[in-house]
Each structure stands twice: as structure tokens, then as C-alpha cells.
Amino acid sequence: SSRGRRRKKGDDLMYRHSVPFQVAMDGSEDEIEIEVLRKCNDCQGTGSMDPSGVRACPNCEGRGRIERLERLGPFTQRSVSDCPSCNGSGKLISDPCKSCNGRGRSNQTKRVKFTIPPGVSSGVRLRMREYGGAPASDDGIPGDLYIEIEIQRHPWFERDSADLLMGLPVGFSDLALGTKIEIPHIDGENLVVKIDAGSQPGDTIEIRGRGLPLQGSKRRGSVMIVLKLDMPRKLSRNEKKRISSLSDILGSDHDGIEERIRDEATKRRN
């Protein structure tokens, strides 16, 4: 039957691989070293020191599987299981290989090269077919290797899919009068942030096409910049006097506070 002849598969493996945030922009060619169960080199996978010391298991006739027919009332049920005499290998070994204890497989160190695509996210698993553990039987296929990618944190960017989010602390005069600020960016070209005169803390500036690549596309996301008011933590006596002299411009009119609170709520809700 097709079920009885199904090829056995070796164990799947999973490795976690941490990469710098820059890889999310550029992608990379990378490699890791893994410990994997592979065909034993000393016995070429036979499990025997002497190739002539291997014979077919008489219990399962070398198939490695035992089929049983069981009656359940008026029904007949067929079950298939590993042969207990040979542990599913289909062979008996008189002189087991010392390197692999007759299993035909041994742990070996292997270097695996792989490609990480631009725009990759943490948690993505790259599947390397047949790079996993060797099968127990000769006619089986190796398992698969899964490499789970972890993207390290950036010093100031947070990520929302292909968009990059950041806060930009600026002074009161930058918001009131407007300015341009250049900051280094992960695509190799400085970001130029234009702040309009009369901007407010919490305003968001979107710079399109400078975010991360969208996987499977030539397009890129946006950089979203939230303006923050950078207040000095300590002021000298002279600085306090200078600010106090401008309190009619910089301060708030307490008499009209309710109206301004309502205006702020209306803007926020719209």
C-alpha cells in the first residue's frame, strides 16, 4: 500500500539567527554553523564496520514496517508500525560501527549559507529543504532546516511593517520659526526634515519612500517623524530672566484656557 511504502523523513531543525537592523534595509548573504545528524562518514551510512555484516531483517523482510490486520467486531482494520526487531531500519548489523553505534548516522558540524531578503521581519522563518537530520532508513529523505530571523533594535527607529517611526526632539524656536534638520539614515543618504513655522509638539512629518523595502516590491515605506518639544532640564538665573521677559509671547493666557482646551480637542478629534 502507499502508506506502507511512504518514505521516512529525518528530523526538522530550527535555529534562531540574530542580525543587525541594517539587514532589514539591505538584506544579506549569511551563514551559520549547525550540529546536524548526517550519514556517518566512517561506515557510509551502513551502520556496520564491515559492509558484509549487514543483512535484511527477517521479521519485516527488510521493509522496516510491520503490517497487522485486526478485527474489530464486523470490521477489519489494518495498522502499520515500525518493526521492533530492527527499529524500523529494515536491517540487522552484526558488527556495529563504533562512530555511530550502528545507527548509520552521527552528529556532524555543517556550515549553511543562506540569503536574507530586504524588508525581512523578526519571526520570519527561512526554510532550507533537506538541510535537517538524516533519515533513519536508506530510502528516506533528510528533514528541513528552519532559520528564524531576529532583527536587532535600532537606536531610534521603531518599525511598523515597512514604515519607520521616530521621535525628533526640537526646541521651541524650531517649532515657532521653522527649520531644517539633517540626520543620518540607514539607506546611506541623510534625511532632511523640514519643520514648518508654527508647528506643534506631536505633529507628524511623513517622508515617503525612505522607509524599509516592501518584500516582493521595489517600493519602500515611509519615515514617520513625531515632533517633540525638547525642554531644558536646568536653567541659569540669567536664562530664567530672559524667558520671563518673553512670557507675554511664550506663556499662556490663563483667562482663555477653557476656549483653547476646546479648540485643541476639536483639532484632535478631526
pLDDT of residue 2: 40
pLDDT of residue 6: 56
pLDDT of residue 219: 94
pLDDT of residue 60: 87
pLDDT of residue 20: 97
pLDDT of residue 55: 86
Q: Residues 212-261: pLDDT tens digits?
A: 999 878 899 999 999 999 988 888 888 788 877 777 666 666 677 788 78
Residue tagged 477489519 (cell numbers): 76
Task: Tell the burial category of 118 from Cβ atoms under 10 Å away from its Cβ (0-12, 13-18, 19+).
Answer: middle
Q: How far apart are the first and last CA of the chain?
A: 68
Residues in the chain where the model's pLDDT stays below 50: 1-5
CA distances from 72 to 69, 75, 76, 77, 78 (A): 10, 5, 6, 7, 10
Q: Is the CB of residue 81 less than 8 Å from the CB of residue 65?
A: yes
C-alpha–C-alpha distance, residues 68 and 84, integer Å: 13
38 has which bridge partners? Answer: 106
pLDDT of residue 78: 83
pLDDT of residue 116: 96
Q: Which of 161, 195, 162 is nearest to 177 (CA)?
A: 195
pLDDT of residue 73: 74
pLDDT of residue 1: 36
